[in-house]
Amino acid sequence: MQGQATQDFYQQESANRRQSILLVILLTAVLAAFGFVIGYAISGTWQGGIVALLIAVLISMLLSSLSYFSGDSLVLSVSHAREVDSTSAPQLMNVVQELSIAANLPMPRVYVIDDPAPNAFATGRDPRHASICVTAGLLQKMDREELQGVIGHEMSHVRNLDTRFLLLVATLVGSIALLADFFLRFTFWGGMSGRRGRDNDSGGGGGALVLIMFVVGLILAIVAPIIGALVQMAVSRQREYLADASSVELTRNPYGLERALANIASDREPLAVANRATQHLYIVNPLKKFGSKSAGLMETHPPIVDRINRLRALTGEAPLDPQAAAGLAGLD
């Protein structure tokens, strides 16, 4: 049984990594294709398409650099987090230090948000610049075993470089949105009619292809940001699954995290500092949706029931019974 559980753990971890990488490749392909189509539609040449593709990539790299060096401090500031030490939060610091050693990572900086809603997140560009933030409600409402499960999850985000990985995804999605906005504005202000006029004056035979590229560009300008957002949410969900599994590897105990997920999701205290820009960072979506019974493609987190059942599968336990699953349905 133990060997099977270990095999299941590594299978889950490997599958989650593969799916996340494939989704990022898909997002990069959408960005590259969109940039090329816009460049060709505007210039009427393949060379123009290549130049626009390179510009799109350059914009993404610039946005990534800005977020890479300042994103974590901005998130902590917006969340009104205060740094703590072993004097002000002894049990929390002890657990973080314990799991830092288990993960073979530098000790991260530790922050607390003074809010009664239980939740937590990790941020930082790499393990040497990482921060783990928990709410006061988490410290008050979780026992040590549950706290270990939560910190193990957040430490796994740091070890797996999820904060950097999701930053890349967010930058790609933002670049796609910028391209879409630019092309729609260009078209609205007469870009299409101007292009057609130049083709007619020069008698170029490529006018039909340029027209096709304009149509494709308009379709992508509408569809690509939606695809980007869907992929971003899918990547976020896969990294949550991965962090859950990695937490079990660090703590050697799935039960603490299982109980913590159920308790955090069921808690009805709203997290005042959370918003749509930061919701994907938390271990459980802080924007409560009590009464919703289905998780859509635009959700930042996997369904709580699915997460708990995956944890139970690691030890060979049966899935949640129908009554318990119904009570947690929609609280993701």
Residues annotated as catalytic (active site), given as ranges = 154
Q: What is the residue type of 133?
A: C
Q: Rounded to the nearest 5 degrees, what angle is found at the Cα of 143, between the Cα atoms of 247 and 260?
A: 45
Burial of 281-296, coded b for 16+ CB within 10 Å and e otherwise, reads: bbbbbbebeeeeeebe
Distance separating alpha carbons of residues 199 and 260, to the nearest angstrom: 64
- Could you tell me if 264 and 283 are in contact, meaning their C-beta atoms sit under 8 angstroms apart? yes
**CA distances (Å), origin 95, targets 88, 139, 155:** 14, 11, 11
Which residues, in sequence order, are CB contacts of 223 under 8 Å at separation 6+? none
Contact yes or no for 257/248 (Cβ under 8 A): yes
